[in-house]
Amino acid sequence: MLRDRARWQRFGSSGVPALLAHPDWDTGELVPVVIWMHGRTVHKELDPGRYLRWIRAGIGVCAVDLPGHGERFDASQQDPEAALDVILQMTNEIDQVVSALAELDAFDLQRLGIGGMSGGGMAAIARLCQPHSFRCASVEAASGSWVDQQHRPMFDHCDAKQISTLDPLQRLDHWREIPFQAIHAQHDEWVAYEGQARFIEALRSRYEQPQLVELITYDRTGAQYEHAGFGKFAADAKNRQAEFLAGCLL
């Protein structure tokens, strides 16, 4: 069903591979769209159930492959030690994707969302620390407190000062007050829940309307490493994300 609604393109000077889906390409209607970035070691086609929920709600999909993943696979960029470089490159490529979407005459860039899972979610958070035009964001199993991740292999080649300089929690001066949703497993073994909870608290303290910042948590999900997909809560997470995006963009 998704394949019938999908098109594949490459965007920008980096040739970012994108899966595009529209509720009905034939109508010519400009619909809101969400840029979605997957996590490390997987690819943009991984989660059709997510994308089908969006297009059924009337929201377009632009799912992209991270650097070194999917259509631009590079085995060296699958390693945990490469994760930071992948995240930073993807952060810098997001504007190329936005510019390319604006040329398609299929999506309403006044109703543009962004999100991602794990490393893709961290790229989304990092991009939101710079001036942008996104209306909302939803991330899963990600963190905006990179200091809480400094013991991970992705930061092995960084010293404490470099991590602090990159850390979104320390770079909120340009953060705009947009609806922000974070979904996280409390026992995530790869991306610490405590760090994301700290980031959410920091966002709420800066918002005039702190209720715009939503944190959804699950206890024991049964997912591998309590990280990927939320296990027995997977459908609930996808449904609540689709409801959030519809409320923000429709």
What does the pLDDT look like over 30-56, one tens digit per residue? Answer: 999 999 999 999 999 999 999 999 999
Judge contact between 227 and 149, C-beta under 8 A. no
DSSP line for 5-48? HEEEEEETTTTEEEEEE-S-GGG---EEEEEEE--TT--TTS-H
Amino acid at position 64, single letter: V
Average pLDDT over residues 120-148: 97
How many angstroms separate the most distant Cα atoms in the chain?
A: 53
Q: Residue 161 is part of a domain; what is its CATH number?
A: 3.40.50.1820
Q: Where are the alpha helices (DSSP H) in 78-222?
A: 83-102, 119-128, 160-166, 193-206
* Mean of all residue pLDDT scores within the chain: 96
Structural domain boundaries, residue 117: 2-249
Quote the pLDDT of residue 223.
95
What gap in Å lies between CA 239 and CA 49, rounded to an integer? 10
Angle between helices 48-57 and 234-249 (to 10 degrees): 30
What are the tens digits of pLDDT across the range 90-99?
A: 999 999 999 9
What total number of domains does the chain contain? 1
What's the burial of 207, exposed, middle or buried (CB within 10 Å: 0-12/13-18/19+)? Answer: middle
Average pLDDT over residues 145-170: 92
What gap in Å lies between CA 149 and CA 16, rounded to an integer? 27
